[in-house]
């Protein structure tokens, strides 16, 4: 039974990924607003209902696979080790993602992630969804810090600062690659740039939210 369930789950994942990549290809080629869910379904060789079973809305066809990354900063702080500050946790997580060349930080060599980003940037409805998701991630981080420290105002300041630094680093990765640098060249000094950015923050936030 376990093996059968595993096979079913793998098939479901494969179907979802086929729908996702098909949708992105169509959206990139023709524009998000110019492609219907029915057209995505036909191109992916599934029913329209199947698309909605995997992705609740048309916007989910773009965001569902990457939605978890909007909560990366909050997750890093929530799961940090005793004795580790909020800055340390976010820096450590980001450096791990740089080392892994994670697509979510703009360093993966495959162009697919950059195509998705460009699609979002060029589509107002998707930009609004991305903005709201990013804001939620920052609010979630602020809530975690406020609960631990008892100071909601400072927690909001810290959450906004950490999120902004991380977003600026990712933006730089995308901008440099967009300007013609290779992902390898950008990745070569990405860790150093990240350390410098978080070190600047740490000078002002040193000792804040050290987990007991």
Structural domains in the chain, CATH included, are 2-57 (1.10.10.60), 64-205 (1.10.357)
Does residue 171 have a pLDDT over 50? yes
pTM of the shown model:
0.84
Q: For residues 88 and 63, give the distance between their C-alpha atoms in angstroms, rounded to a whole number.
A: 28
Does residue 48 have a pLDDT over 90? yes
* pLDDT recorded at residue 13: 87
Q: Report the chain's mean pLDDT, rounded to a whole number.
A: 92
* pLDDT recorded at residue 82: 93
Span of 100-109, 123-132, 159-168, 181-190 with lowest mean pLDDT: 100-109
Does residue 3 have a pLDDT over 60? no
Q: For residues 137 and 75, give the distance between their C-alpha atoms in angstroms, rounded to a whole number.
A: 9
Does residue 123 have a pLDDT over 90? yes
Does residue 105 have a pLDDT over 50? yes
Rounded (10°) CA dihedral 144, 145, 150, 154? -140
Percent of the chain scoring above 70 in pLDDT: 98
């Amino acid at each position: 039974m376990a093996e059968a369930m595993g096979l079913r789950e793998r098939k479901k994942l494969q179907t979802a990924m086929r729908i996702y990549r098909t949708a992105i290809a169509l959206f990139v080629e023709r524009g998000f607003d110019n492609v219907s869910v029915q057209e995505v379904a036909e191109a992916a060789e599934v029913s329209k209902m199947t698309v909605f079973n995997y992705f609740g809305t048309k916007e989910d066809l773009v965001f569902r696979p990457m939605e978890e990354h909007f909560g990366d900063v909050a997750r890093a702080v929530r799961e940090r080790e005793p004795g580790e500050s909020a800055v340390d946790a976010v820096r450590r997580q980001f450096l791990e993602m740089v080392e892994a060349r994670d697509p979510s930080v703009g360093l993966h060599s495959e162009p697919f992630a950059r195509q998705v980003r460009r699609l979002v940037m060029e589509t107002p409805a998707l930009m609004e969804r991305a903005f709201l998701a990013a804001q939620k991630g920052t609010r979630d981080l602020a809530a975690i810090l406020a609960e631990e420290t008892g100071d909601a105002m400072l927690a909001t300041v810290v959450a906004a600062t950490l999120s902004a630094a991380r977003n600026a680093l990712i933006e730089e990765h995308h901008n440099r690659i967009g300007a013609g640098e290779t992902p390898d060249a950008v990745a070569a000094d990405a860790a150093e740039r990240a350390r410098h950015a978080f070190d600047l923050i740490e000078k002002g936030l040193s000792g804040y939210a050290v987990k007991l």
